[in-house]
């Protein structure tokens, strides 16, 4: 699905998805009812109602497997952002072991990294254009500055090792969120879900082709279930875009104060 749909507010996304599914169901209903005459009507009625449960199960399996990927991507995205924020917060706390210019410099570099992530990387991740080729300059500089420190006591030695570890953790978490930002439900999976939905709606129309009201009710109920499933997947499909996306708030919460 394109960026336009994912960027819609949830309410408008729901209107778009439900409207599209209902239009597809209405089109199938109209075509079948028009064709259900004479010999074709007897052929439609010959379709066994026993086909409906297997089709419904297959559709549910398609949705379940796709939703599993979506939930996993969102969990990983949240975990990466929280891990990055936690590592940066720990680095800020440990930087207090080097009071004065060194602490101010480390805090400033971490602050610059967070500002760059929130203002530049997040929009790029939303558009799936963020790349690992772009080096996080402030964070790399902070790591180099930490390695260049000269500890004067065991406490500072421990703090230096801790800051180095936390900054490396933050770098790894950043790589993870950028990789996850490129994940989405591909067109093959969406095509499979839509194809199974069309097959199920068509089968319902065939089975109830002699009773228009029953066909409309059954197809309406199933179309509602299809739309709800598609909406749920689409709303979480891209972890860093949309109203329910993963935001930079954890990073902003641990941003050091500007000195």
- pLDDT tens digits for 76-132? 999 999 999 999 999 999 999 999 899 999 999 999 999 999 999 999 999 988 888
Q: Distance of CA 34 to CAs 27, 106, 119, 210, 248, Å?
A: 11, 73, 55, 11, 53
- Answer yes or no: is pLDDT of 259 > 80: no
- Answer yes or no: is pLDDT of 15 > 80: yes
For the record, the structure tokens of 53 come out as: 């449960």
- State the distance between the two ends of the chain, measured CA to CA, in whole angstroms: 44
How far is C-alpha 218 from the geometric centre of its chain's CA atoms?
A: 32
The helix/strand count (H/E) of the chain reads as 11, 0
128: left (phi over 0), alpha (psi -120 to 50) or beta: left
- 35, 222 contact by CB (below 8 A): no
For the chain, state the CA radius of gyration. Answer: 27
The Cα 246–Cα 83 span in angstroms is 13
Per-residue pLDDT tens digits for 229-248: 999 999 999 999 988 899 99
The Cα 68–Cα 167 span in angstroms is 32
What is the pTM (predicted TM-score) of this model? Answer: 0.85
The domain segmentation of the chain, as residue ranges, is 1-46+186-236, 77-185+246-259
The Cα 87–Cα 147 span in angstroms is 17
- 225, 7 contact by CB (below 8 A): no
Query: Helix, strand or coil for residue 26?
Result: helix
Handedness of CA 41, 42, 43, 47 (dihedral sign): positive
The Cα 125–Cα 117 span in angstroms is 10
Report which of 113, 103, 85 is spatially closest to residue 254, judged by C-alpha positions: 85
Q: What pLDDT shows up at residue 8? A: 86
């Amino acid at each position: 699905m394109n960026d336009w749909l994912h960027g819609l507010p949830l309410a408008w996304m729901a209107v778009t998805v439900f409207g599209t599914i209902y239009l597809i169901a209405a089109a199938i209903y109209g075509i079948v009812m028009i064709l259900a005459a004479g010999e074709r009507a007897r052929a439609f009625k010959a379709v066994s109602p026993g086909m409906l449960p297997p089709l419904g199960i297959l559709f549910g399996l398609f949705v379940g497997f796709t939703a599993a990927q979506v939930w996993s991507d969102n969990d990983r995205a949240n975990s990466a952002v929280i891990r990055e924020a936690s590592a940066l917060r720990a680095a800020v706390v440990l930087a207090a072991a080097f009071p004065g210019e060194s602490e101010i410099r480390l805090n400033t570099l971490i602050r610059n990294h967070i500002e760059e992530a929130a203002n530049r990387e997040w929009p790029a991740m939303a558009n799936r254009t963020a790349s690992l080729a772009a080096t996080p300059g402030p964070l790399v500089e902070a790591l180099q500055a930490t390695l260049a420190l000269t500890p004067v006591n065991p406490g500072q030695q421990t703090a230096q090792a801790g800051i180095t570890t936390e900054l490396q953790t933050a770098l790894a978490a950043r790589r993870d969120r950028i990789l996850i930002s490129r994940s989405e439900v591909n067109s093959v999976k969406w095509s499979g879900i839509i194809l199974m939905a069309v097959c199920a709606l068509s089968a319902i129309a065939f089975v109830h082709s002699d009773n228009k009201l029953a066909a409309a009710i059954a197809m309406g109920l199933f179309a509602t279930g299809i739309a709800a499933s598609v909406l749920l997947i689409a709303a979480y499909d891209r972890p860093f875009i949309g109203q329910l996306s993963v935001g930079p708030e954890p990073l902003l919460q641990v941003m050091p104060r500007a000195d």
